């Protein structure tokens, strides 16, 4: 019973009891039907129970709570989705495409852990759907969100409520107060076919593949439409779990976690298995590959995760992916088609990319008419000519590429592919940097193509996130010389926008409102939006967190820039070069004058950072905490934590299993602390082992 029922004294006790029993019975029948695939009553009886509950809730509205089975039918349409911040980022996975890459994956784990025993993994099908996060408070579903960019998703609560395999209330009272469950929402093959049959009968456009259908269903602002789609969700992990009940033992392995999720009422893949060592992973891959076509849902590979959660914690993460998990992708799907022509596109950084124009062909659920050819070296390696029959490969969401040429089908009238000497857009000379395979336009901002791509990048979702400024609008504005640089965006006027093709005054005003809203941003987003070569989201965030302000980054030397984690000589060169260009500084000043602002990341007072200016290295295995935790504690004290030992290293913390790093530290006669000494240091500065 929910609080809204208990709080209402106007509802007869007998009615409250009947409603509670109906909710309990219907939830149980939902679970048996959609999760266990083992219905216990005929549909007509289920419909009778549901009608009775609807009657009671209509008569006594206080009975209708958010965990009622009646709430799966959808709610009135939303105006827009709101943003959700994932407190624990939803990271992507690294991919393996061969047995050798799987063997290397295990080798890296064993070396990092200095592990002597046989590793155990959990293997599970990689569903081809949409990753989501579900938040439960006191066992009741309160929020559903998309993965988005991993840190920021969209609130799709009304839509996930309509999915019958997602419990609105968990099937236990002995659960953490706060629980975040992660999983994949997908459309089974049978449901996909049924959906397209209905679309064809109604003369509507059909969906290309189940993944697109699932994604489109979750993007409906009207959840009543989502409710008509036969979506499923399979849970695959926990994000957050806080305040476990007394007497409940938290799972110590990933497999036990999945069993716990099943007990709470979630659908978990019945193909999940524990396997030993990389040999077990390879055998599971062979078995599931043979079953792939028989499954009632699409999968594009297998996910392997180290089973022991404590080992997962010790392994930690790289910038965008966990070290303890990997996705083994199935072989790319390949088809033959004809190369009709090659066009040359100019990218944001001036890179000239040859693009194959193909005779349209259907592969992997998508019609392909273009494919990347990468660069001139790749074309020469393939021996490609216009008119050739080629094999096109597509794996998952990877951009299609030409894999090879079928030379025995080469006609006599093929033509060589000739690279241009000047930019196809602005006719500026093309140049190739030393050691680079890519030709670049030397025109810079005088090149309309580079301007267009730079502006598209600037307004993109992961950058300044300016809603309503699409590619077509940008191309029109640049062609009409209303946009010559990104700062011109903030000088656009209503009548200029309203005069563009397919734009009315209301749409134009929406664009101006979105531009105004984008003026409040963050330093990492702004840095990423500037489009500095080799500075992606992770590097932009690392720069912002290290230097704290844009001014500090502008003034930093290459040596200072290389003190930032993951910033090497190449990136440092591009960053320094960018901030030495007068026209770049003028654009930044113009953007700030237009009102773009962000909070600087305030560095802590130096007197609270006793290790400021010192570089430390952690090596070996710490028994009282993971290396990641040790790194965080050193960073709290102001130290920089490096991955290798050098003459600049101040001190090394060496746990059991320390190898070459310890040897190098000793050869350089650097201070070396064992774990007990390290813990004493943390205690000295108020960072206790448990703190």
For this structure, is 648 an active site residue? no
What's the DSSP call for residue 167?
-
For the beta sheet containing 130-137, the strands, ordered from the edge strand earlier in sequence to the opposite edge, are 140-146, 130-137, 178-186, 232-242
Strand partners, 281: none
Which tokens is 572 given? 């440092």
Nearest Cα neighbor of 184 from 163, 168, 170, 169 is 163
Q: What are phi and psi of 524, to 5 degrees?
A: -60, -40
Which tokens is 263 given? 């007990």
How many angstroms from the chain centroid is the CA of residue 181? 16
Give the position of tokens 């996060």: 133
> Under the phi-then-psi rule, with left for phi > 0, alpha for psi from -120 to 50, and beta for the rest, what region is 67?
alpha
| Torsion sign across C-alpha atoms 172, 177, 182, 185 | positive
Q: What number of residues does the chain have?
A: 691
- Residues 280, 99: Cα–Cα separation, whole Å: 12
Q: What are the DSSP E strand ranges found in 595-690? A: 615-619, 640-642, 651-654, 672-673
- Residues 185, 189: Cα–Cα separation, whole Å: 13
The active-site residue, picked from 126, 305, 329, 640, is 126
- Within a 10 A sphere around the Cβ of 153, how many other Cβ atoms? 21
Q: Are 431 and 439 in contact (CB under 8 A)?
A: yes
Q: Are 414 and 386 in contact (CB under 8 A)?
A: yes
Nearest Cα neighbor of 109 from 380, 341, 407, 318 is 318
Counting beta carbons within 10 angstroms of the beta carbon of residue 356, is it exposed (0 to 12), middle (13 to 18) or buried (19 or more)?
buried
Residues carrying an active site annotation = 126
């Amino acid at each position: 019973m929910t609080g809204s029922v208990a709080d209402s004294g106007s509802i007869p006790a007998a009615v409250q009891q009947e409603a509670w029993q109906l909710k309990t019975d219907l939830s149980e029948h939902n679970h048996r039907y959609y999760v266990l695939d083992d219905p216990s009553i005929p549909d007509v009886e289920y419909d009778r129970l549901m009608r009775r509950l609807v009657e009671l809730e209509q008569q006594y509205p206080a009975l209708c709570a958010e965990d009622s089975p009646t709430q799966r039918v959808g709610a009135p349409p939303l105006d827009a989705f709101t943003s959700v911040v994932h407190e624990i980022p939803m990271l992507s996975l690294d991919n393996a495409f061969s047995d050798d890459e799987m063997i290397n994956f295990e080798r890296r784990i064993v070396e990092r852990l200095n592990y002597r025993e046989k590793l155990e993994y959990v293997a599970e099908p990689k569903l081809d759907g949409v990753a989501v996060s579900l938040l439960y408070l006191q066992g009741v579903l309160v929020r559903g969100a998309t993965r988005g960019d991993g840190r920021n998703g969209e609130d799709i609560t009304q839509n996930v409520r309509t999915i019958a395999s997602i419990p609105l209330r968990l099937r236990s009272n002995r659960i953490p107060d706060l629980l975040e469950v992660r999983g994949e929402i997908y459309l089974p093959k049978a449901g996909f076919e049924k959906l397209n049959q209905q679309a064809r009968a109604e003369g509507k456009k059909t969906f290309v593949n189940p993944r697109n259908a699932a994604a489109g269903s979750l993007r409906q602002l009207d959840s009543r439409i989502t409710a008509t789609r036969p979506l499923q969700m399979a849970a695959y992990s926990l994000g957050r779990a806080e305040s476990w009940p007394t007497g409940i033992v938290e799972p110590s392995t990933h497999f036990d976690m999945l069993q716990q999720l099943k007990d709470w009422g979630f659908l978990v893949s019945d193909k999940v298995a524990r396997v030993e060592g990389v040999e077990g992973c390879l055998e599971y891959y062979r078995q599931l590959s043979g079953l792939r076509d028989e499954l009632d849902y699409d999968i594009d590979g297998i996910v392997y995760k180290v089973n022991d959660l404590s080992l997962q914690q010790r392994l930690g993460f790289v910038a965008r992916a966990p070290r303890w998990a990997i996705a083994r992708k199935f072989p790319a799907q390949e088809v033959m088609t004809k190369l009709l022509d090659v066009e040359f596109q100019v990218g944001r950084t001036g890179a000239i990319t040859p693009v194959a124009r193909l005779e349209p062909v259907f592969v992997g659920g998508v019609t392909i008419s273009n494919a990347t050819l990468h660069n001139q070296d790749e074309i020469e390696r393939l021996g490609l000519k216009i008119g050739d029959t080629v094999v096109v490969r597509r794996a998952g969401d990877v951009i299609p590429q030409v894999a090879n040429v079928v030379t025995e089908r080469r006609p006599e009238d093929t033509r060589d592919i000739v690279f241009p000497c000047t930019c196809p857009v602005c006719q500026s000379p093309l140049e190739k940097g030393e050691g680079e395979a890519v030709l670049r336009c030397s025109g810079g901002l005088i090149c309309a193509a580079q301007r267009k791509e730079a502006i598209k990048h600037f307004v993109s979702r992961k950058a300044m996130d300016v809603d309503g400024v699409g590619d077509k609008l940008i191309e029109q504005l640049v062609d009409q010389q209303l946009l010559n640089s990104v700062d011109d965006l903030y000088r656009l006027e209503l009548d200029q926008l309203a005069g563009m093709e397919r734009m009315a005054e209301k749409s134009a005003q929406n664009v101006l409102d979105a531009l105004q809203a984008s003026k409040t941003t963050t330093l990492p987003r702004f840095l990423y939006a500037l489009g500095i070569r080799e500075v992606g989201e992770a590097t932009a965030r690392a720069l912002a967190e290290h230097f704290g302000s844009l001014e500090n980054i502008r003034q930093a030397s290459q040596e200072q820039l290389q003190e930032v984690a993951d910033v090497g000589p190449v990136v440092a060169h591009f960053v320094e070069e960018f901030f030495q260009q007068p026209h770049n500084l003028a654009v930044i000043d113009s953007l700030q004058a237009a009102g773009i602002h962000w909070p600087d990341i305030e560095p802590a007072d130096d007197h609270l950072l006793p290790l400021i200016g010192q570089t430390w290295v952690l090596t070996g295995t710490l028994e009282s905490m993971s290396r990641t935790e040790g790194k965080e504690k050193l960073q709290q004290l102001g130290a920089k934590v490096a991955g290798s030992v050098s003459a600049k290293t101040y001190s090394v913390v060496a746990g059991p299993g320390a190898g070459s790093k310890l040897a190098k530290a000793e050869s350089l006669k650097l201070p070396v602390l064992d774990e007990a000494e390290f813990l004493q240091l943390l205690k000295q500065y108020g960072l206790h082992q448990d703190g």
